Chain A
């Protein structure tokens, strides 16, 4: 089955800096790669996703890149703000009906002002 590795487990940056979180996956059949932000005591919120027919996707300060050959994808947050502080999870899935997401272990991002 699918296995998703995520690094780093913790990341501390100064406000305004960029943050990069990286994930690798094992199942070449995976073709859907979402990123979630989870604040304490809340469910995961989708912040951006990418499908295997594109290599990069951007939404304001957030971007995701995908390298299918190397089986890795990354989240990039630019101009970080204190409110970006949270736990971020990557996930992968073949996106077929009835197939669940497999999550990485999460990255705790701390943005200090």
Chain B
């Protein structure tokens, strides 16, 4: 399957700071990137969908000014949590998608964010 990496794997930050999470598609040209978050003991919830070179589309209830997504290349997408607060503590997972929509969906290993 596709190889997807995320960095960092876990991060602890103080309230009010910004955190950047990188997602790399190592063997796959990701024209689309899906960002999910997962709270403890819950399912994956889609946050936003980004297409390479264009603005991301955010799901209802997800603040686009708080969760900044950049998808500048076919192998790299970043999610920046701005002015993080304790309620943003969660497991963030990316999933690259190919054009045509026929490809199997693989996921990154996730980033555990803890905001103190």
A, B assembled together: yes
Question: Do the beta carbons of B107 and A43 come within 8 Å of each other?
Answer: yes
Number of B interface residues in the complex (CB < 8 A) = 29
Kindly supply a per-residue 1/0 record for chain B positions 86-103, scoring 1 wherever the CB is within 8 Å of any chain A CB and 0 otherwise.
000000010101111110
Chain A interface, DSSP helix/strand/loop, else mixed: loop
CB within 8 A of B101: which of A34, A44, A89, A96? Answer: A96
Question: Do the beta carbons of B51 and A98 come within 8 Å of each other?
Answer: yes
- The stretch that binds A, out of B42-50, B64-72, B76-84, is B42-50
Which residues from 2 to 32 on chain A have a C-beta closer than 8 Å to any C-beta of chain B?
Answer: none
| Residues in B whose Cβ lies below 8 Å from that of A99 | 101
Question: Do the beta carbons of B110 and A98 come within 8 Å of each other?
Answer: no
How far apart sit A49 and B106, CA to CA, in the bound complex (Å)?
12
How far apart sit A99 and B106, CA to CA, in the bound complex (Å)?
14
Question: Do the beta carbons of B43 and A106 come within 8 Å of each other?
Answer: yes
Chain B residues in contact with chain A, CB under 8 A? 1, 4, 6, 31-32, 34, 42-46, 49, 51, 93, 95, 97-102, 104-110, 112
